[in-house]
Amino acid sequence: MRLLDRYIVKNFLINYLLAFGLLVGIYVLLDLIINVDRFTKAGGGGQGWVMIWSLSGDIIDYYAYQLLVIFQMVAGIIPLLAAGFTMVRMTRHNELTAMLASGVSLYRVAAPIVLCSLGFSALAIIDQEVLMPGCVDKLLRRHDEVSRTATIVSRTDPLYFVRDADGSLLSASRYDPQKKELTDVVIMRRDESGRLASHITAAKAAWTLPTIENKLLQPAWLFVGTRQIDDIISGDPLSRVAEKVGDYYYTQSTLTPEQLDLVFSKKAVEFLSSAQVQKLIANSPAITQAGLVKIMHIRFTQPIMNLIMLLIGIPYLLTRVPGRLVVNIFFCMGAVGVCFVGTFVMFQMAGTMLLPQVGAWLPVVVFGPIAVAMLDMIKT
């Protein structure tokens, strides 16, 4: 890396950290002002310095994890802000003029900034695929659930028609992920054409390791108090009565507790990795698959659009006329604003007015050529 590259990269990184700190500081300050009473009510008690110490620990613990989410929110705009700060500083000190006078191309000035932005895009991908999926429970906490003395309440969410690998549908009035138990279970078995063939009901089901003759089998659901009902219309009416299967009934299933946790994680799908979202798509009804497919494709197109917005805005910042830099900054904000709003609208249309794949990739098709044209217009 040449001296010029190191100088530009150093300035860009400093301005990047300043912009990130500014945006994060504003977000945290506003959120804390609004929700400080929730932190106080959920505190572990105490008075004086003990209370302040406990409250400070809760606040730091909460926002330390929320930084992962905030970084995803601002990852697209920070490189452009940092590039703007860098160009303003270099223009103010006549450094850009000196570079142009020595024959340095403006493309040469922009290259280190673009490469650094690519590096931060890679960090955003790591954040999305590795860091956030590893602490989903922490990210889902409300402000009043951070206290170290708070009791973790087990979820009692119902399950509605979750599809298994064999095509059967599982429903339950309650699922406890801590005990790995289902309550009021109904399994609807279907034939090859999707019609209901039979269904099994049980008062309770627990995930366990069954044994036969002291040999451990594969983990399975143990159903207690089961009844099987034949629903085939062409069957003998006299035989189509509730049949007692037994007090205990084992069944193999791909709907493991881990898979059910993913089903419930639809509430936090933005915190899951792409592999987890793919599993959700494979085990979700058709009515919700479009939204999940949209999320998967946006995972690919959002980093590309962040780079495209930078390429659209940076030509306004690379000017040979220092006096026009302030005016060009406003033009830059307008152009990037149009790109941002257009991208947002197209993303919202994905899965509703447009196919999920089309809506997710349409901004790249529309604004990608514009970014190339803008770069070609730079007077080097």
Give per-residue pLDDT as tens, 106-115.
888 888 999 9
Average pLDDT over residues 25-36: 89
Q: Are 262 and 280 in contact (CB under 8 A)?
A: yes
Is pLDDT above 60 for 44? no
Tell me, what's the pLDDT at 149? 41
Return the higher-pLDDT residue of 251 and 182: 182
Average pLDDT over residues 255-264: 70
Bridge partners, 226 (sequence order): 202, 246
Least confident of 53-62, 245-254, 317-326, 348-357: 245-254
Is pLDDT above 70 for 238? no
Q: Where are the beta strands (DSSP E) in the chain?
A: 157-163, 169-176, 181-190, 196-208, 211-212, 215-216, 220-230, 243-251
Is pLDDT above 60 for 153? no
Taken as a whole, the chain contains a residue count of 380
Confidence of residue 286 (pLDDT cuts 50, 70, 90): low
Return the higher-pLDDT residue of 68 and 58: 68
The tokens for 205 are 């089901």
What does DSSP assign to residue 52?
H
Tell me, what's the pLDDT at 101? 80
Tell me, what's the pLDDT at 266? 56
Return the higher-pLDDT residue of 52 and 120: 120
- What whole-number distance in Å separates Cα of residue 294 and Cα of residue 296? 5
Tell me, what's the pLDDT at 214? 54
Summary mean pLDDT of the chain:
80
- What whole-number distance in Å separates Cα of residue 320 and Cα of residue 318? 7
Tell me, what's the pLDDT at 252? 65
Tell me, what's the pLDDT at 188? 85
% of residues, the chain, pLDDT over 90: 23
Q: Shortest CA distance to 10 belongs to which of 92, 114, 113?
A: 113
Average pLDDT over residues 281-290: 70
Tell me, what's the pLDDT at 369? 94
Average pLDDT over residues 173-194: 83
Tell me, what's the pLDDT at 358? 92
Is pLDDT above 70 for 56? yes
Strands 243-251 vs 211-212: parallel, antiparallel or unpaired: unpaired
The tokens for 352 are 């509703």
Confidence of residue 152 (pLDDT cuts 50, 70, 90): very low
- What whole-number distance in Å separates Cα of residue 92 and Cα of residue 357? 45
- Our CA angle for 271, 276, 278, nearest 5°, is 120
Tell me, what's the pLDDT at 329? 87
